Structure 1
Amino acid sequence: MAANTSQKVTLWEFFQNLGKTFMLPVALLSFCGIMLGIGSSLSSHDVVTLIPALGNPVLQLIFVWMSKVGSFAFSFLPVMFCIAIPLGLASENKGVAAFAGFVGYVVMNLGVNFWLTAKGILPTTDAAVLKANNIQNVLGIQSIDTGILGAVIAGVIVAMLHKRFHNIRLPDALAFFGGTRFVPIITTVVMGLVGLVIPLIWPVFAAGITGIGNLINSAGVFGPMIFGTGERLLLPFGLQHILVALIRFTEAGGTMDVCGHSVSGALTIFQAQLSCPTVHGFSESATRFLSQGKMPAFLGGLPGAALAMYHCARPENRHKIKGLLISGVIACVVGGTTEPLEFLFLFVAPVLYLIHALLTGLGFTMMAVLGVTIGNTDGNVIDFVVFGILHGLSTKWYMVPVVGAIWFAVYYGIFRFAITRFNIKTPGRDIDTTSSAERALAGQVGKSGYNVPAMLAALGGAENVVTLDNCITRLRMTVKDMTLVDSAALKNLRAIGVVQLNQHNLQVVIGPQVQSVKDEMASLMSTAQA
């Protein structure tokens, strides 16, 4: 029984870490999407006709340059994931892991190409044969288009090879090839063999992904609600990125021919249409899973919840939580980062979080029913302007403020009623019992804006922290002894939430400044161990 529990914990941790590795390419995707959106919008004929000054040749060159640069991330998306996954999962020699990821992805596709050639399918330029076998040019190699899922599989295999062999010792005669140099070597051999297996097993994966897509699509207008609600429910566990990647980048999010190419995944379809000069307007079947669905909750609902929490706080405590709530609203509305607000009520009122998840999903469905077509990833005000307003009335961006205002009122009413009726201890509801000594300690902040030495002490000290990492808003760590962790002290030190996943794995929700806190804490730990 103990062994089974250990295995479950290991798988849980693995998927959390895997989801974390997605953040590096996804962050670049978000930025490139904005560049592509601005460039393509301001260089379009409709916008130039509306604002003739934008037709200046120099400005148009700048806008076209932005479009070209912005399209980079979407042209090389799979290889980016195959590099980022080993990079993120490796605990040391990360550069070698990333290099091996690129090698592994290329060699895997060369293996697939060899199999297709041996079977007599290649070489060919017959469009019907290529389409029937799902063959595309991948980094100049004719191979089966396995998309993001193939890149994830390759990245995970390479990460496992790196973990197993990065410190291998070979006999003296072969010592030159030992250690980190052995990783790309063994990767070449293993991924070459994987490439021979891919054509045999890929139909099974493709069928599974298509089944998930059919399940969501069979729900009609409630398909986006299933996705939006599921994403919110998975967020506290750090597993939402798995679902998001499945819909954004695989056949589960739909498949469409754009500019003569078959494109799969909601976000990939949207970006392909954005960069295709012959496409006017965006596919509703793709954008219904993208930014527009988040906007009712992100731009309206959560700010309404924040205002309700402010009004429900004790009058003498409102000035103390005002900065916390305002920074959370800014992070949500401008950055699309919701955890600083969501974790204020997730642990004290899980039912409220469930209602929030359902309302978020309902927002996805509402935007789809209204025919709004605003894409990208973040659901923030930047996406609203760049991919909504700048693309004209055809996106129906004007519905966002209307629905957002309704969501604001609904969230405010539900949260204010629930907090006062059930005496939910949201920020500012408790009587301040913090001692003067604790307040003085909490006031000793460093460059990160947090008292990191005190936070490290509340975690049981440097010797209690085995591993330390972070995602967008959370410190992720493994500790030796969970009983040494003082959750109350961490919250007094402005941690938004403390999530104890099991007896050794811990997450501390910080907010947008988590990277600075992590770097400062890692420096303190290195000094303590020296």
Structure 2
Amino acid sequence: MSASKQKITLWEFFQSLGKTFMLPVALLSFCGIMMGIGSSLSSHDVITLLPFLGNRVLQLIFMWMSSTGSFAFSYLPVMFAIAIPLGMARENKGVAAFSGFVGFAVMNLAVNFWLHARGILPTTDAAVLKANNIQNIIGIQSIDTGILGAVFAGIIVYWLHERFHTIRLPDALAFFGGTRFVPIITTLVMGLVGLLIPLIWPGFAAAIAGLGWVINGAGDFGPMIFGTGERLLLPFGLQHILVAIIRFTDAGGTLEVCGHSVSGALTIFQAQLSCPTSGGFAESATRFLSQGKMPAFLGGLPGAALAMYHCARPENRHKIKGLLISGVVACVVGGTTEPLEFLFLFVAPFLYVIHALLTGLGFTLMAVLGVTIGNTDGNVIDFVVFGILHGLQTKWYLVPVVSAIWFAAYYLIFRFAIRRFDIKTPGRDREAPRTDKGPSAATVGKSGYDTPAILSALGGRENITSLDNCLTRLRLSVKDMSQVDDAALKANRVIGVVHLNQHSLQVVIGPQVQSVKDEMASMMQSASA
């Protein structure tokens, strides 16, 4: 696949960049659940309510969960610096990841050198440290550039890797050539970048603060702008950029937590989660998190699924039932919405816009009602772990009420629109859809998909120049888009096909996309061997 490299567009670059965010975010979500369970079950209020939880062995387990879960929060920037070159590199991904760590560490060491050269360090004066935004970054006193600094470092390292990982040096220096040269050039370049950070970072910080001012200046409509924007960007795979800005930078707010200044909605929430004296969660942070998704995810989309079921032809309903139920389960339990959204996105884009607006309205309503449920997924797990287990102060009891209203609203809107405009959602065609027809036993893999048929529908191995995946989609570059058979892909349980340009497309698979991608990559490698 690497034999024929195509120049990527800016659009494809940002898509690829957004995809790399999912690796640290997935770990962050899991660690957040561990912290949530551990901190809530070791709290005084819960022990008073359920005295048996005060058992020392249980408390040690809960404290271990909370301590272990704090890992992702403590080392989040370096995880981004590693994940970006790892995810974006086309070859020698291990070298790219290693260089990502090297680059991030060297950049902060260079900043530390500059601070010493200017006489700002060494010092223990809290006022001086705060005035210069100096924090302890992986054991190095440096200017805290947060996630944004780590993203810039990761992008630079990725570029250096792509440019130099195949470099050929003279024989006398050949030992340092090839992949060994990548961390070497990374050390030199990031050492210089670190010297520039103190000079240019105040401008970036001001720009991010300005974005935060715009969003927060919108008052109660700020969460709606965020929630609607995230849904509208999702079909293009660009939602991760907006999400990362709000979750991990000053745009999502800044708050003093346990004596430390913390920026970003999600980092504020998780800092309060691990802080024994925080006394609850900040509404200014949680209004951009899980609670805002819950009306649409726990109520709205299941209502839309029921409307699509009732609007299907009676003879086809039993054939689409499995498709809709699996989509609802993925949405409610896993927080993965594409299996349902892509059932109506392409046949009725205006319905998707309404869905985006209602999702944003859910964010605003949860904020106005004072609900404080954090984390990232908006699913029933977040509802229980970060809502119910943290007591009535989170106002979790309002979520079922609002979700029921959203369920009714989605059901009525979708049922009316589908029938009024004869929208061809699943089961509306006279011919029964092939959603119930699984792959043959001879070709099905561990993923549960007929991967050989999907590969064939993409034009075969020779037509694919790059293959990757994000949370729910295959991301491909192909030589000839005319060889891609959308109908054949959908006949093999593909949820949707997004054509980005004449060479790039996305194939929406769902939660099993990683297994499908691995099977396809293995088949392509075997065929080329």
TM-score (norm 2): 0.97
- What residue ranges of structure 2 are gaps of 5+ in the alignment? 1-5
> Where in structure 1 are there 5+ consecutive unaligned residues?
1-5
Change (3 A) 1:442 1:312: farther
- SS of the equivalent of 2:9 reads helix
1:475, 1:507 within 8 Å by CA — same for their partners in 2?
Answer: yes
2:91 aligned residue: 92
Matches of 1:301 and 1:17 in 2, distance apart? 30
> Structure 2 CA distance, aligned partners of 1:193 and 1:515?
38
Q: Give 1:149's aligned residue.
A: 148
Q: Is 1:289 aligned to residue 288 of structure 2?
A: yes
Match in the other structure for 2:3: none
What RMSD over aligned residues (CA atoms) do the two structures have, in Å?
1.5
CA distance in 2, matches of 1:431, 1:170: 66
Query: Which stretches of structure 1, 4 residues or more, deviate above 2 A after TM superposition?
Result: 438-447
Which residue of 2 is the match for residue 36 of structure 1? 35
- Distance in structure 1 (CA, Å) of the matches to 2:339 and 2:464: 24
Instruction: Evaluate the alpha carbon distance shift between residue 158 and residue 442 of structure 1 in structure 2; reply closer, same or farther with a 3 A threshold.
Output: same
TM-superposed CA distance for 1:446, in Å, is 2.9
Task: Say which is worse superposed, 359-368 or 513-522, in terms of deviation.
Answer: 513-522
* Alignment check: 8 A CA contact 1:303 1:408 kept: yes
Secondary structure at the counterpart of residue 71 of structure 1: helix
Contact 2:308–2:415 (8 Å) recurs in 1: yes
1:214 paired residue number:
213
| Distance in 2 separating the partners of 1:336 and 1:57 | 34
After superposition, what is the alpha-carbon deviation per residue over 1:99-140, rounded to whole angstroms, capped at 9, x for unaligned? 111110010001111111111211111111111111111112
Whether the 8 Å CA contact 1:442–1:493 is kept in 2: the answer is no
Distance 1:352 1:205 in 2: 37
The aligned runs of 1:369-518 (5 Å cut-off) are 369-432=368-431, 445-518=444-517
Per-residue deviation, 1:12: 0.4
Q: Which amino acid aligns with 1:95?
A: G
Deviation at 1:279, TM superposition (A): 1.1
Q: Cα distance 1:492–1:168, how it changes in 2: closer, same or farther (>3 A)?
A: same
1:64 matched to which residue of 2?
Answer: 63
C-alpha separation in 2, matches of 1:450 and 1:322: 18
2:175 and 2:438 map into 1 onto residues whose CA distance is 57
2:285 & 2:322 partners in 1: Cα distance?
Answer: 37
Please name the residue that 1:524 is paired with.
523
Structure-2 change in CA distance of 1:382 and 1:354 (3 Å):
same
Query: Structure 2 matches for 1:168-183, cutoff 5 A?
Result: 168-183=167-182
Q: CA deviation at 1:527?
A: 2.2
CA distance in 1, matches of 2:389, 2:112: 43
Inter-partner Cα distance in structure 2 for 1:375 and 1:182: 43
Deviation at 1:433, TM superposition (A): 6.8
- Which one-letter code corresponds to 1:270 in the other structure? F
The CA distance in 1 between the partners of 2:334 and 2:116, in whole Å, is 48
Q: Give the AA of the match of 1:144.
A: I
Structure 1 contact 328–340 (Cα < 8 Å) conserved: yes
State how far apart, in whole Å, the 2-side matches of 1:446 and 1:74 are: 36
Deviation at 1:220, TM superposition (A): 0.4
* Separation in 1, partners of 2:438, 2:209: 57
CA distance in 2, matches of 1:366, 1:95: 45
Asked whether the 8 Å contact 1:442–1:454 carries over to 2, the reply is no
Q: CA deviation at 1:489?
A: 1.2
Higher mean Cα deviation, 371-380 or 426-435? 426-435
Structure 2 equivalent of residue 313 of structure 1:
312
Deviations 1:23-49 (A, max 9, x none): 110000000000000000000001000
Q: In the alignment, which residue of structure 1 is the partner of 2:46?
A: 47
- Paired residues, number: 522
Partner Cα distance (2:340, 2:266) in 1? 26
The AA in structure 2 aligned to 1:213 is: G
* Cα deviation, residue 519, structure 1: 1.3
Instruction: Give the residue type in structure 2 aligned to 1:308.
Output: A
1:3 corresponding residue in structure 2: none
Partner Cα distance (1:439, 1:104) in 2 = 50
Query: Residues of 2 paired with 1:31 and 1:407: CA distance?
Result: 27
Please give the alpha-carbon distance, in whole angstroms, between the structure 1 residues aligned to 2:268 and 2:244.
13
Inter-CA distance 408–433: structure 2 relative to 1 (3 Å threshold): closer
After TM superposition, the structure 1 = structure 2 runs for residues 239-254 of structure 1, keeping only pairs within 5 Å, are: 239-254=238-253
The 1:191/1:318 distance shift into structure 2, 3 A limit, reads same
Return the letter of the residue paired with 1:369: V
Map Cα deviations across residues 240-297 of structure 1 (whole Å, 9 max, x no partner).
Answer: 0000000000000000110000000000000000100111111000000000000000
What amino acid sits opposite 1:333 in the alignment? V
Alignment-mate amino acid for residue 456 of structure 2: A
Cα separation, 2, equivalents of 1:474 and 1:139: 34
Contact in 1 for aligned 2:495/2:508 (Cα 8 Å): yes
- Report what 2:24 is aligned to: 25
Q: Which moved more, 1:214-223 or 1:311-320?
A: 311-320
Q: In 2, distance between residues paired with 1:161 and 1:465?
A: 25
Change beyond 3 A, Cα 1:302–1:441: closer
1:201-248 Cα distance to aligned partner (Å, 9 max, x none): 101100110000000011000000000000000000000000000000
Q: For 2:188 and 2:128, how far apart are their aligned partners in 1?
A: 29
CA apart distance, 1:439: 6.4
Counterpart AA for 1:54: L
Residues 489, 128 of structure 1: alpha-carbon distance in 2 compared, 3 angstrom cutoff: same
Partner of 2:351: 352
